[in-house]
Amino acid sequence: MPLTVKELMERMPGAFLPDKAEGVDAVIQFRLGEGGDWICTIRDKACSVEEGEADSPNLTLSAEAANYIDLVTGKLNPMTAIATKKIELKGDLNLAMKYMNLFDL
């Protein structure tokens, strides 16, 4: 059975690589269509994820749930996803580039 957005988001803290997060202090808002809204907070080499909306995120990633699942599971190339607007980013794009390296996906 395919993974759901909820399952992927709940797995994020366990896949987090604290050694790669030196100096990262960020709030990332995920808007994932039918997958809901999620907040990922990375601070002091720790990662937490919760459902909801952040007041002022450093980065917002918007996508349909299926496109996000494909991105995380490697079926969708990040650059292709952005170029074809399957994934839209708003805010700190340097954080977006660093983000993929902070997790063992």
Residue 16: inside a domain: yes
Judge whether 69 lies within some domain: yes
pLDDT digits (tens, 9 = 90+) for 51-70: 999 999 999 999 999 999 99
Question: In the structure encoding, which two tokens stand for residue 26, read together?
Answer: 């960020």
Residue 59 belongs to domain spanning: 5-98
- How many domains does the chain contain in total? 1
- Classify residue 88: in a domain, yes or no: yes
The pLDDT tens digits of the residues spanning 86-99 come to 999 999 999 998 98
**Helical pair 65-72 and 5-15, crossing angle rounded to 10 deg:** 30
Residue 105 included in any domain: no
Give domain status of residue 66, yes or no: yes
Local structure of residue 94 (DSSP, 8 states): H
Res. 1 pLDDT band, cuts 50 70 90: low
Amino acid at 104: D
What CATH number is attached to the domain comprising 43? 3.30.1050.10
**Would you say the pTM of this structure is higher than 0.75?**
yes
